[in-house]
Structure 1
């Protein structure tokens, strides 16, 4: 599994910090927006389209609030994205919803909490079972 990461201008600093943190934890990370880009729309599509093509990978997108990229990503087939603000949600959305992409708002979530959120998301596994019915329903929507 690889973790792909992207950001717009407002999320760039936090993206760099998160990327370094994940690499230190031993994850393979690919930065899809190594240069500062102003538009979260294009950056989100880069991350989501990578996940569509590489289903085993996970994606992280960072902008100022996380909401715009969250809405964009969830319009794409095969993407189940959550906008996260805490570690518990990071674990549960992965375990129960098979979330393959998350968004984080750099203007809302501080550096240390963001590190814990992505660490938890990256390590969490999908439980399947009774949750698969809901995941199938989500995937039928696109």
Structure 2
């Protein structure tokens, strides 16, 4: 699976640890911030661009609280992203909401928890069906 990752200065250290974790598990990792982005808006939009272009299947964004990256990413038409802090939410957002990216707040959770929720997110696939109705409703709002 192709995964794109990006971070601002507050998320950079965790992003580097996650990158190593993913590579050790044979994910193809596209790092859009080999150096920290100056702002979470820049890193989130870089991740979003790669996911929306089809160059990556899923994206992971890192900043201090995760909320800023999520907000920036979801400004792009068609992007579904959320801020996650637990494994159930990470799984459900992929399976039920078709999330194309998740945002992680490095000031809120540690690396062990982050790795657990990232793995749950990556292991989940969108199930479509009744959940597509909601995505269609969201698409009409933009």
In which range does the TM-score fall when normalised by the shorter chain?
over 0.9
Tell me by how many angstroms 1:141 deviates.
2.4
2:127 corresponding residue in structure 1:
127
| Contact 2:82–2:102 (CA under 8 A) maintained in structure 1 | yes
Aligned-partner Cα distance in 2 for 1:6–1:114:
14
Report deviation, 1:135: 1.2
Partner of 1:4: 4
Counterpart position of 1:98: 98
Unaligned 5+ residue runs, structure 2?
none
Distance in 2 between residues matched to 1:52 and 1:103, nearest whole Å:
16
Tell me the residue number matched to 2:117: 117
Q: State the partner residue of 2:107.
A: 107
Counterpart position of 1:23? 23
C-alpha spacing 1:56/1:11, structure 2 compared with 1 (3 Å): closer
Q: Distance in 2 between matches of 1:4 and 1:126?
A: 18
TM-score normalised to the size of structure 1? 0.95
Deviations 1:3-32 (A, max 9, x none): 000000000000001111111122111110
Separation of aligned partners in 2, 1:84 and 1:129: 23
Aligned twin of 1:72: 72
Cα RMSD between the aligned structures? 1.2
Q: C-alpha separation between the residues in 1 aligned to 2:100 and 2:137?
A: 15
Following TM superposition, by how much is the alpha carbon of 1:136 offset from its aligned partner in structure 2, in angstroms? 1.2
- Where in structure 1 do 4 or more consecutive aligned residues deviate above 2 Å? 139-142
Deviation at 1:36, TM superposition (A): 2.1
Alpha carbons of structure 1 residues 56 and 29: separation in structure 2 relative to 1, 3 Å: closer
What SS is found at the alignment partner of 2:11? helix
